[in-house]
Structure formats: C-alpha cells, structure tokens
Amino acid sequence: MIRSEILATGMYVPPNLFKNEDLSTMMDTSDEWIRQRTGIEQRYWVSPNQSTSDLAFEAAKKAIENAKIDKNEIDCLMLATLTPDHEFPGTACFLQKKLGIPGIPAIDVRQQCTGFVYSMSIADAFIRMGTYKKILIVGAEVHSKGLDRTPTGRDVSVLFGDGAGAVIIGAKELKDPKKDSHILSTHLHADGTYAEELWVPGPGSAFGPIRVEQERLAEGYHLPHMNGKTVFLHAVKRMPEVLQEALTFNNLTPEDIDLFVFHQANLRINDMVAKQFNIPEEKVFNTIQKYANTTAATIPIGLDEAIRAGKLKKGMLVASAAFGSGFTWASAIYRY
C-alpha cells in the first residue's frame, strides 16, 4: 500500500527584524496592545529586492538538503501563496527556474492561510495514485510590501510577517500504519459567502473597465481589508470542527496526538482551540510570537522549528488545522 510521508522540512525568513516597538513609530499601536490581542512579539520583513519566490527558494534548498536527495528527484512542485511575484505566470514557475528543475509540473495553490494543508492534500492524492514519487511543497509569503503601515492600517498590518516553509513529500510502502511515517488524512472546506470579510479587492477584473484604475488605488483597493470580529468568530468555530473531523475519521482522540501544529494567525485563537480539546500547553507548538502570521508558510515553518527544537521527532503523530480568507479551513493528521 503506497502512502506519502514527510521526508524533510526547511524554512527561511528574511533578515529584517521588526519588533512591536518598531511598529509603534509607524502607526498608533504599542507592544502591549499587539501582545494582548495577538500574542505577536516580532516579525521579519523582506528587503526591497526580495520576492516571494526568493524566500521560497531558500526554504526549498533547506528541505532538499535535509532530505538528502538530488533536486532532480523532485517530480512535482507546488507553491502555496497569496502574495505572488507577479500577476502571472504562477510564482511556482519562478521558483522552478531558480531551483533549476525544468520540465516537471509547477502548481500554484491560492488558498491563503489553508494553502499548505490544501497542498498536502493534493500531493497526498498524487502519490497515492502513483502519479509522482517526490513532491516539493512550499508555503511562502511577502506581506510587508502590501501592508498599509499608516495608522489607518494598524489592525491588519501588525499581524503579518514574511517567510517561507517547505517540505518534501515522498512515496513509501506502508507496512505498519501505527508506526510508519505517513499522511493519515486531510480534510478541506470553504465558504465563499464570507470572501469579502478578509480580502484584497484589487487590482482585478471585478471592478471597472480595466484591471488597474488610479481611482481604485487611491481608495486603497490594493491593500488588505478585514472584518476582524467576523474572522475571529469563524476561526474559533471552524478550526475545532475540522480538527474533530480529522480525529473522528481516524478513530483518534486528542490524547493520541503527540504534537499540534496549528496555523499561526492569532495566539488567542490557538489557545481557545486547545482549551476546547483540553490539550496541554506543551503539546501545542506555536511560532506566531517570533514570526507573526506568514499565512501559507506558518505550518511548514512550525514543523521545521519543532524538529530543530527537538519537539517533533520521527514516529510522532501530528495534527494541524488552519483557517483563513475565503473563508477556507482544513486539517490534517500525519505521522512524522
């Protein structure tokens, strides 16, 4: 029985560290205000010449190195991002060029904060069908170039950081499902009813006679807009739901899980999810304090950090859940 396993991870964040105090010089905020509402202490933002594919390239190199494979063994590439290098072509193609692995499929996944779990699901299906044997998945974001760093944008701009995380997913013959490393299941959902509660309206084909209008730019259509209360209320509902769905599907309880690596949007959300399941603090691995919300990159960054910190070891059972713009939400259970 062929299943897919995580062979290795990698991550990269740009060199420019911005602590909460640094943001207080740009907008009406403070370290205390940000910590109390989000748990965030700092974030990393790119230099002017860095792009999403640059960050993805560095994370991918680390994952390939840690997997101890030749890059040419990769037969499929997937990049989850909401901050593409360009309108088109897909950013996965720019990453492919930088990695020097032409010819294989290069797929962009545009599912925002759930992009990594959606990508895992697609990769797992490809491998189970025998279509591909080694798939590189990267979640990468450059938010800082699209944030309103004035007092008007405070509620959104304090939340986001730049970074990339990567995993190599490989095919394996599963002999013992209770011991062997593999992805047990993934569970995906969306409800476009709430698409405009967290979005960047433009540029796009939905407004006006042309894609980019000066009037729309002046109105801030190219900046993120969020109904924070609605997003929070849905996140604390949907993440526990989809986590329970994964546990039930696999006949597991929270006590069976060795480590929970959730999407990092807000520490308060993750604390509430953990509380609902009576998950002890030591079994939840959070990185939002250091990196803020890197959307599609948060879970792979968390996995890599947990491995290097000695919190995640081979054979451990891991559960992940994510919620984000769309609205989309998803979960996965996998034995590392």
In angstroms, rounded to a whole number, what is the distance separating the alpha carbons of residues 291 and 280? 23
Q: Are strands 198-199 and 225-226 parallel, antiparallel or unpaired?
A: antiparallel
The DSSP secondary structure of 263-288, one letter per residue, reads: --S-HHHHHHHHHHTT--GGGB---H
Sheet architecture: strand order including 328-335? 182-190, 328-335, 317-324, 259-260
**DSSP symbols for 165-198:** EEEEEEEEE-S-TTTS-EEEEEEEEE-GGGGGGE
Q: Which residue bears the tokens 């698409």?
A: 195
The helix/strand count (H/E) of the chain reads as 11, 13
Structure tokens that stand for 198 in this block: 């967290």
Q: Write out the two tokens for 177.
A: 């499902």
Which residue is associated with the tokens 């807009």?
Answer: 225
Tell me how far apart the terminal alpha carbons of the chain are, to the nearest angstrom.
18
The beta-strand segments (E) located in 26-120 are: 42-45, 76-80, 106-109
The residues annotated with a catalytic role in the active site are: 113, 263, 293
Are the C-beta atoms of residues 55 and 11 closer than 8 Å to each other? no
What tokens appear for 15 in the block? 């060199």
Bridge partners of residue 199, in order along the sequence: 225
